[in-house]
Amino acid sequence: MQNHITRRLFSGYSGLSLLGTACSGWLPVLAAQAATSAKPHRRCILLWMSGGPSQMETFDPKPGQENGGPTTAIETSVPGIQISEHLPKLAAMMQHLAPIRSMSTKEGDHTRATYFMHTGYLPQGPIRYPTLGSMLSRELINRECDLPSFVSVNPFRAFSPAAYGPGFLGPSWSPLVVNSQMTGDEQNRDVSFEVSNLKPSEQITEAQSDARLQLLTSLEHDFLSSRPGAPGRSHVESYQQAVRMMKSAAVGAFNLDDEDQTLRDAYGRNPFGQGCLLARRLIENGVSFVEVNLSSADGSGGGAGWDTHADNFEAVGSLCGVLDPAYATLIQDLHQRGLLLDTLVIWMGEFGRTPKINENTGRDHWPKSWSTVLAGAGIQAGQVYGSTSADGMEVESDPVTVQNLMATICQALGIDHETTNLSNVGRPIPLADHGSAPIAELLS
């Protein structure tokens, strides 16, 4: 009897070998899941603007209006569509973009709004909603990929750590967080990315490292084969994933050195610019969701630079100096490589800024009428969706809720937005909240 049990239990761990699976695939269960899901591998890049970017200085300028301030508008590659003077390179990419000028939400608090825009739900009661990256990478995952399905570059989590976590989906859907290092002096600034602890210490030879993993596999087998349970399974799975990544050539994606220098310059030699380039490389390597955060004029993810309560015009100008080349080059690069067809690029922050300019030449929090931008996979680009009044105070046409934006994002990625996941309170939760609907005009 005991033998039978041991054998049967062990069969669940036949993917246990830490070394052997590096190339050969996953636990049988996961492999089976992959086999049944014949979804195309669409991908998603989220450019997150922490602090809440001003719509009037980006995608919804109001030149000549009192509320518009000194910001002027420029023509774009799509006749009739104008955007702010701060985004000339993006203006030339307008045929690939679909700005939404009629976002209308009710959350003007950084913490709640950051959570809302990242999960599609307001924080409520005990339910821990997953962040977009966790939720969508779980749907889009490419099991062939040696890298984690969700990578987050320079996140600024202080506003709402919960908005950046996997919530009830569990830690296995956590992002792999990568932070940038800046090197060189001001003239020769360079940026690199490193996944912490990816290599054993230098004293450990590869043979030793392999021998360790082999011994570990035997120990795990002896222990877990007679002790089934989720924590043990999760332990083995995460070690397998980690070893797979350590041994994979795909980690080369994090090293930008082999990238064309002119292209690197075009993205901008700053953390956000190079982060966008990293996002493209990760997408190419099979990663499903990459979030890149911009919240400081030096391109890093520190602080909440878009929170321009004072000196709005100068601050947004410098931030756009980082945003414009990075975002535009990303779109162009993805397009040229044929990746834009199945990669959705989202640009958003937690809310917009007050149309009225305050006494510090700043703009305050404004969730009532503001802008986000979609591009790429499944999006009908080259159009503006929705509009605001001349003074920017009201949404004039086609108001867009967070829920409908989420549903649209899901549809664009080929995911049914009504797909549910079982939450920590035992209630099934749809990807986009009940009652939401994708915006048909935005979908191709």
Partner 1 sequence: MKTILDKTNGFGDPVGRMTESCHRCCRFVLKIGIFGIPARNSCPEVAEPLGSNLSLPPRLLFLGKTVVNRQLLIGLNCLLLTVSPAVAQERLNLSVDRVVSAIDDRFQQSWQAEQVVPAEVADDAEFIRRLYLDLAGRIPAVSELRAFLADPARDKRAQIVSQLLDSPASVRHFTTVWRNALIPQANSQPEFRGLIPGFQAWLWERISAGQPYDQIVREIITSELNVSNGAALAATTSPDAFFVVRELKPENLAAGTARAFLGVRLDCAQCHDHPFDKWQQQQFWNMAAFYAGFSRPEDADRDTPAMMLSMAENRDARSIRIPGTEDVVPAVFLTGGSPDWNQQPQQTARDVLADWIVDPQNPWFARMAVNRMWAQFFGRGIVDPVDDFSDNNPPSHPEVLDLLADDFVAGGYDLKRLVRVITATRVYQLSSRQTHTSQQDPSHFARAVLRGLSPEQFFDSLAEAVGFYQPYRSDNPFVVDTDSPRAQFLDLFRDSAESSLDRETTILQALAMMNGEFISNATSLNDSQTLKAVIEFPAMTDAQKLETLFLAALSRPPSETEQQRFGEYLSTGGAAGNKQAAMADIFWVLLNSSEFLLNH
Q: Which residues bind partner 1 (CB under 8 A)?
A: 1-2, 5, 9, 108-109, 125-126, 128, 148, 158, 161-162, 165, 167, 170-172, 174, 176-177, 195-201, 203, 205, 207-208, 210-212, 215-216, 218-220, 222-224, 226-232, 234-239, 241-243, 245-246, 424
- 232 versus 382: smaller Cβ distance to partner 1: 232
Residue 270 CB, nearest approach to partner 1 (Å): 25
Instruction: Kindly tell me which of 57 and 220 has the beta carbon lying closer to partner 1.
Output: 220
Q: How far is the CB of 106 from partner 1 (least distance, A)?
A: 12
The residue (of 72 and 238) whose beta carbon lies closer to partner 1 is 238
Min. distance of Cβ 194 from partner 1 in angstroms? 12
- The secondary structure of the chain, three-state, reads CHHHHHHHHHHCCCCCCCCCHHHHCCCHHHHHHHHHCCCCCCEEEEEEECCCCCCCCCCCCCCCCCCCCCCCEEECCCCCCEEECCCHHHHCCHHHEEEEEEECCCCCCHHHHHHHHHHCCCCCCCCCCCCHHHHHHHHHCCCCCCCCCEEEECCCCCCCHHHHCCHHHCHHHCCEEEEEEEECCCCCCEEEEECCCCCCCCCCCHHHHHHHHHHHHHHHHHHHCCCCCHHHHHHHHHHHHHHHHHHCHHHHHHCHHHCCHHHHHHHCCCHHHHHHHHHHHHHHCCCCEEEEEECCCCCCCCCCCCCCCCCHHHHHHHHHHHHHHHHHHHHHHHHHCCCHHHEEEEEEECCEECCCCCCCCCCCEECCCEEEEEEECCECCCCCECEECCCCCCEEECCECHHHHHHHHHHHCCCCCCCEEECCCCCEEECCCCCCCCCHHHEC
In whole angstroms, the minimum distance from the beta carbon of 404 to partner 1 comes to 23
- C-beta closer to partner 1: residue 63 or 108: 108
CB of 282 to partner 1, least distance (A): 15
Q: Which residues of 350-381 are buried (b: 16+ CB within 10 A; e: fewer)?
A: bbbbbbebeeebbbbbbbbbbbbbbbbbbbeb
Nearer to partner 1, 167 or 301 (CB): 167
Which of residues 341 and 422 has its CB atom nearest to partner 1 in the complex?
Answer: 422
Between 210 and 298, whose beta carbon lies closer to partner 1? 210
Minimum gap (Å) between residue 359 Cβ and partner 1: 19
Rank residues 179 and 332 by Cβ distance to partner 1 and give the closer one: 179
Smallest gap from Cβ 333 to partner 1, in A, equals 28
Q: How far is the CB of 1 from partner 1 (least distance, A)?
A: 8
Q: 1 or 35, CB closer to partner 1?
A: 1
Least spacing, CB of residue 107 vs partner 1, in Å:
10
